[in-house]
Amino acid sequence: MTTPAAPRQPRSGCPISIALELLGDAWSLLIVRDLMFKGRRTYNDFLAGGEGIASNVLASRLRKLEGANIIEKRSDPRDARRYIYRLSPKGIDLAPVLVDLVIWSARHVQTDAPPAVVRSMREDRERFLADVRRRWRTSA
């Protein structure tokens, strides 16, 4: 007799567990990175500039991130058929995580990250984060 498909039990209240429920996949944090560091903000930006995400998967991740209030979507005032995605306050607060991920990668796997940027992240972390946040705030 076959089991009637139990739909993945909910996770514990452990903070990391909950965070990974939102971000624990191959693409979500890449979209956040695109928004935070690469100046990408439209569907086609992500599609072309990401590392080859499929369009259906992209749409699904954007929905999920928006549903979790990590990103916000609104239509471009200058072009009605275009939407602009933007990090929410909750989304920009992921900056420390991404910065640490860059530092870790630079140390342990070879990357194409400019050493000067990585050094600035590591040696002047608070200032780097403040800059990220300021750029985000002023680009409203």
| Residue selected from 48, 111, 131, 135 as contacting a copy of itself according to rule CB under 8 A | 111
Residue 49 tokens read as 């500039």
H or E element at residue 73: strand 71-75
CB 111 to a copy of itself: min, Å = 4
CA angle in degrees (0–180, nearest 5) for 67-32-16: 70
Tell me: does residue 26 bind a copy of itself (CB under 8 A): yes
Binding marks (x or -) toward DNA, 52..81, rule CB under 7 A?
xxxxxx-xx-x----------x--x----x
Rule CB under 8 A: which of 53-72 touch a copy of itself? none
HEC string for 94-124: CHHHHHHHHHHHHHHCCCCCCHHHHHHHHHC
Positions touching a copy of itself (CB under 8 A) are 9, 11-22, 24-27, 29-30, 33, 51-52, 90, 93-94, 96-98, 100-113
